[in-house]
């Protein structure tokens, strides 16, 4: 194999004056990265791995080739630019061959014109895609016992978290009450030392902790006093996601003197490897995230949990699957790493996903069966429903209601939005003490400059019995989450109910001719909101969860690939929090937080994947993805079809029957996932075939990222062996093939199909017998019956003679010939 040495084709020594404002660029260059280098350069042996094989980072072969690539990156920059006019941030050698560099747009153009440079991509920002769930998912009784109990669940599986770091002192990550952790020889990540305490971040449970901020620093965004130049979590988000996936079992969730239950990770014995690349105010940069992923795979993680997605499409790459982020993850999967990524929080609108590729498991967010309700009972006996995780006022006793605007110390305080109840110093303590303080929920609460936590602190400091927040004006679709508080408190979210409260207060509160209150005669009491109500109509797809259809390019053309892949709990999730964290104003300084987002759903899948990996250590990432998808459920706890939160015509929230564009294959079912019967496996060559057969993708662009020529034997992208079928543009009749592999004992499967009337569906053969370990191909024929202009949904159900059930969703839109 002939390899041109980087730099030799450059004939002129360029020196460039920095004219434009310097920016960060991700550059890929000729030559193979470690994961795919098959030899050909004198003095450097092959380092390539087969599909689903780990990189042996201890070998001299790998380390010497890594040094060779980094030296070539440095030589290229030194030959092109004067010293001091550029700042190389990272060399990528493991999954990509390239580097991140801080240069001017003119220098970037010079790189683009250099023959040995394959791509130059301007960096762009990423953002965070921001308990009870182990019981809801059946882990303590159905899954953990098969792995030896909670104290063995996930043993020796390493989950890597590319997030905002970790608070290592949290009880969810402590080791003093657990069986001692032994070494994990396969993992070789390092532990940074805390610059303040001089102690490293690792303790046996946490096995690696590093931070990546060179791009953030170069962009002038990094503030070491709040962002921490270490793996310390300055946000809260990273500690939360790590605890969901792998936090210790049975950790009491205590706030304001009340215990809200016990928290546990999905795989409480799994190890945690921290790769901090997100920060509290600005989010993060792709250059830092790619460096974190590159390092995590090199270190030997088994699973990657990514609660992060791009803020916007990249500047130059038009193919969704080939932006530097997804291309890096393709190499991670080639190295045998399972990747769970948050689908995005742009729902309930279509085409809002930020996770696109078939080698990634894209996770949608569900509401589980807990609902926290509370109420305010008025003196006229009217009961106003609301929310609030708070204790009740004294039973059988009513308290006087006083509005914040009526108890001002000085009229000049109006400039501070006193009805928000954020500043106790502007309110009259004598008038508030012993009463219930009425406050208004303004836009300041939506943007985060006001918080319910601060209302509670204001009321408490003034000696109030409790508080009420009334929503008088609301944007359609505004989402209200209950917030734990230490005194009685309720948020009235329904505007009409808030008007009832205001009318009652005004008619019960006589005033003089200036508008000053003569006497406060309105009264009421606040209910107990601490106990959740369990609903059978769970799970439901959360309103914010990003929806399909998936797109193949940033012109928003529909892809022949179903996304999201799977649904997992992601609403009102209790987990660890960093006391330094400011990501949620209502949890500043707390040890736990209850928050929502597909950010919370992805680590549920990462942790459950760890349990599957523990039982089946040699399964590929695609096999683990397959077992999670084919065993998922499309029914709720009451046995009814899953529903999704959606906007009505008036933009109020309603429930509609969910589709695969909402939930993918369905809601995760961990117990069934340990024994799927059949799997649909795929590897690096298959993903390459998918890319090559996707219309509109330039084969040269594919080779830039994969270093391999195109292979067209797959014929169509919908023939990729995924546990879902999507044909976005079905004309006439198309036949789709799948290959099933039996991972149980010999079994005969009967194949049945169903589809919406606009599309005919047929399976061949109708039944097949597979010996243990055997694979069999079958085909699905789809025919357009009528053109409706909308997608049709269906499924393939494979019922085994030994009781296994394997389900594959089918999605297609018919067009005229």
Residue 416 has pLDDT above 80, yes or no: no
For residue 523, the model assigns a pLDDT of 93
For residue 145, the model assigns a pLDDT of 46
Q: pLDDT band for position 14 (50/70/90)?
A: very low
In the chain, how many H helices and how many E strands?
Answer: 19, 39
3-class SS letters over 725-760: EEEEEEECEEEEEEEEEECCCCEEEEEEEEECCCEE
CB of 248 closer than 8 Å to CB of 178: yes
| Cβ atoms < 10 Å from Cβ of 128 | 25
| Cβ atoms < 10 Å from Cβ of 226 | 13
Q: Is the dihedral of CA 680, 570, 154, 194 positive or negative?
A: positive
DSSP structure class, residue 22: P
- The mean pLDDT value for 418-433 works out to 92
- Rounded Cα distance between 87 and 81, Å, is 10
State which H helix or E strand residue 724 sits in.
none
Residue 479 has pLDDT above 80, yes or no: no
DSSP characters over 55-92:
--TTSHHHHHHHHHHHHHHHHHHHHHS-TTS-EEEEEE
Q: pLDDT band for position 264 (50/70/90)?
A: confident
Alpha helix (H) residue ranges in 520-669: 598-615, 621-630, 660-663
State which H helix or E strand residue 590 sits in.
none
Closest CA to 248 of 239, 257, 256: 239
Using CA atoms, how far residue 376 sits from 193, 278, 290, 421, 701, in Å, is 51, 40, 50, 18, 61
Closest CA to 301 of 61, 621, 568, 625: 621
Q: Beta 466-470 vs 436-440: how paired, if at all?
A: parallel
- The mean pLDDT value for 434-462 works out to 89
Place of tokens 């080779």: 703
- The mean pLDDT value for 605-631 works out to 95
The per-residue pLDDT for range 521-549, each reduced to its tens digit, is 999 999 888 777 766 667 899 988 999 99
Q: pLDDT band for position 348 (50/70/90)?
A: confident
- Rounded Cα distance between 264 and 727, Å, is 40
Average pLDDT, the chain: 87
For residue 317, the model assigns a pLDDT of 65
The per-residue pLDDT for range 576-614, each reduced to its tens digit, is 888 877 667 777 788 888 888 888 999 999 999 999 999
For residue 19, the model assigns a pLDDT of 41
Q: Please identify which of the residues 230, 331, 599, 620 carries the catalytic annotation.
A: 599
How open is the CA angle 13-30-90, to the nearest 5 degrees?
Answer: 80
The per-residue pLDDT for range 23-45, each reduced to its tens digit, is 999 999 999 999 989 888 999 99
The per-residue pLDDT for range 170-229, each reduced to its tens digit, is 999 988 877 888 888 889 999 999 887 888 899 999 999 999 999 999 999 998 888 899
Q: Is the peptide bond before 348 cis (omega within 30 degrees of 0)?
A: yes
Q: Please identify which of the residues 94, 237, 604, 716 carries the catalytic annotation.
A: 237
Closest CA to 589 of 392, 731, 454: 454
Q: Which residue has the higher pLDDT, 263 or 343?
A: 343
For residue 256, indicate whether it is catalytic: no
The per-residue pLDDT for range 140-154, each reduced to its tens digit, is 445 544 444 556 677
Residue 155 has pLDDT above 60, yes or no: yes
CB of 452 closer than 8 Å to CB of 529: no
**Nearest-10 Cα torsion for 146, 148, 150, 153:** -80
Residue 69 has φ and ψ, to the nearest 5°, of -65, -45
Q: Give percent of the chain above pLDDT 90.
A: 58
Closest CA to 427 of 461, 404, 448, 446: 404
Q: Which residue has the higher pLDDT, 538 or 351?
A: 351
Answering whether pTM is above 0.85, one says yes
For residue 41, the model assigns a pLDDT of 92
Give the length of the chain: 817
For residue 170, indicate whether it is catalytic: no
Lowest mean pLDDT among 1-5, 252-256, 268-272: 1-5
State which H helix or E strand residue 159 sits in.
strand 158-163
For residue 288, indicate whether it is catalytic: no
Lowest mean pLDDT among 16-30, 130-144, 562-576, 591-605: 130-144
Q: pLDDT band for position 573 (50/70/90)?
A: confident
The per-residue pLDDT for range 724-777, each reduced to its tens digit, is 999 999 999 999 999 999 999 999 999 999 999 999 999 999 999 999 999 999
Q: Please identify which of the residues 52, 123, 156, 163 carries the catalytic annotation.
A: 163
């Amino acid at each position: 194999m002939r390899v041109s040495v980087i730099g030799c084709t450059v004939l002129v020594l360029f020196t460039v004056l920095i004219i434009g404002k310097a920016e960060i660029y991700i550059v890929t260059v000729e030559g193979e990265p470690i994961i795919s280098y098959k030899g050909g350069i004198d003095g450097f042996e092959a380092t390539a791995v087969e599909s689903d094989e780990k990189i042996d980072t201890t070998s001299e072969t790998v380390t010497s080739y890594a040094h060779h690539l980094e030296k070539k990156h440095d030589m290229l920059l030194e030959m092109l630019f004067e010293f001091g006019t550029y700042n190389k941030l990272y060399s990528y050698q493991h999954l990509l061959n390239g580097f991140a560099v801080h240069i001017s747009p003119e220098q970037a153009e010079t790189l683009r014109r250099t023959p040995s440079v394959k791509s130059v991509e301007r960096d762009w920002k990423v953002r965070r895609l921001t308990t009870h769930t182990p019981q809801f998912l059946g882990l303590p009784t159905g899954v953990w016992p098969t792995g030896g109990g909670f104290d063995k669940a996930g043993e020796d599986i390493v989950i890597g978290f590319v997030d905002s770091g970790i608070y290592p002192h949290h009880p969810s990550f402590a080791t003093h009450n657990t069986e001692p952790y032994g070494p994990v020889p396969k993992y070789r990540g390092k532990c940074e030392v805390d610059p303040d305490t001089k102690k490293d971040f690792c303790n046996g449970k946490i096995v690696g902790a590093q931070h990546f901020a060179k791009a953030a620093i170069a962009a002038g965004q990094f503030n070491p006093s709040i962002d921490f130049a270490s793996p310390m979590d300055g946000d809260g988000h990273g500690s939360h996601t790590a605890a969901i996936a792998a936090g210790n079992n049975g950790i009491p969730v205590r706030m304001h003197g009340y215990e809200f239950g016990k928290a546990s990770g999905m795989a409480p014995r799994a190890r945690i490897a921290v790769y901090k690349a997100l920060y509290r105010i600005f989010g993060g940069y792709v250059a830092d995230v790619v460096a974190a992923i590159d390092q995590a795979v090199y270190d030997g993680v088994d699973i990657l949990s990514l609660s992060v997605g791009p803020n916007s499409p990249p500047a130059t790459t038009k193919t969704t699957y080939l932006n530097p982020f997804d291309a890096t993850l393709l190499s991670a999967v080639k190295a045998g790493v399972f990747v769970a990524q948050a689908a995005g929080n742009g729902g309930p609108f279509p085409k809002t996903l930020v996770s696109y590729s078939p080698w990634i498991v894209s996770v949608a967010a569900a509401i589980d069966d807990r609902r926290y309700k509370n109420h305010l009972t008025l003196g006229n006996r009217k009961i106003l429903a609301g929310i609030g995780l708070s204790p009740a006022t004294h039973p059988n006793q009513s308290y006087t209601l006083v509005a914040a605007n009526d108890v001002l110390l000085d009229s000049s305080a109006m400039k501070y939005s006193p009805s928000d109840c954020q500043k106790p110093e502007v309110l009259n303590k004598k008038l508030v003490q012993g009463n219930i303080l009425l406050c208004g929920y303004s836009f300041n609460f939506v943007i985060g400059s006001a918080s319910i936590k601060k209302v509670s602190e204001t009321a408490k400091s003034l000696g109030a019995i409790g508080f009420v927040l009334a929503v008088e004006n609301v944007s359609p679709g505004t989402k209200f989450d209950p917030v734990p508080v230490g005194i009685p408190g309720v948020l009235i979210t329904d505007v009409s109910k808030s008007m009832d409260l205001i009318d009652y207060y005004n008619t019960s509160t006589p005033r003089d001719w200036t508008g000053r209150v003569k006497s406060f005669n309105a009264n009421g009491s606040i209910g107990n909101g601490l106990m959740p109500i369990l609903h059978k109509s769970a799970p439901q797809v959360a309103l914010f969860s990003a929806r399909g259809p998936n797109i193949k390019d940033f012109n928003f053309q529909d892809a022949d690939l179903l996304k999201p892949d799977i649904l997992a709990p992601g609403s009102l999730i209790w987990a660890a929090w960093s006391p330094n964290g400011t990501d949620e104003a209502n949890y500043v300084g707390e040890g736990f937080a209850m928050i929502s987002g597909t950010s919370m759903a992805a680590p549920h899948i990462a942790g459950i994947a760890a349990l599957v990996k523990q039982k089946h250590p040699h399964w590929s990432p695609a096999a683990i993805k397959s077992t999670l998808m084919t065993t998922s459920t499309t029914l709720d706890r009451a046995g009814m079809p899953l529903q999704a939160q959606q906007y009505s015509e008036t933009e109020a929230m309603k429930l509609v029957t969910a589709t695969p564009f909402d939930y993918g294959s369905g809601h995760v079912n961990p117990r069934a996932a340990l024994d799927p019967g059949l799997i649909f496996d795929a590897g690096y060559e298959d993903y390459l075939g998918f890319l090559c057969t996707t219309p509109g993708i330039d084969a040269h662009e594919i080779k830039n990222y994969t270093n391999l020529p195109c292979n067209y034997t797959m014929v169509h992208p919908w023939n990729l062996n995924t546990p879902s079928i999507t044909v976005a543009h079905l004309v006439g009749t198309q036949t789709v093939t799948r290959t099933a592999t039996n991972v149980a004992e010999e079994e005969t499967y009967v194949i049945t199909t169903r589809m919406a009337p606009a599309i005919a569906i047929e399976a061949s053969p109708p039944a097949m017998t597979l010996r243990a370990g055997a694979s069999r191909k079958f085909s699905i024929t789809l025919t357009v019956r009528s053109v409706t202009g909308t997608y049709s949904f269906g499924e393939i159900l494979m019922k085994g003679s030994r009781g296994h059930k394997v389900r594959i969703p089918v999605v297609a839109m018919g067009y005229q010939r």
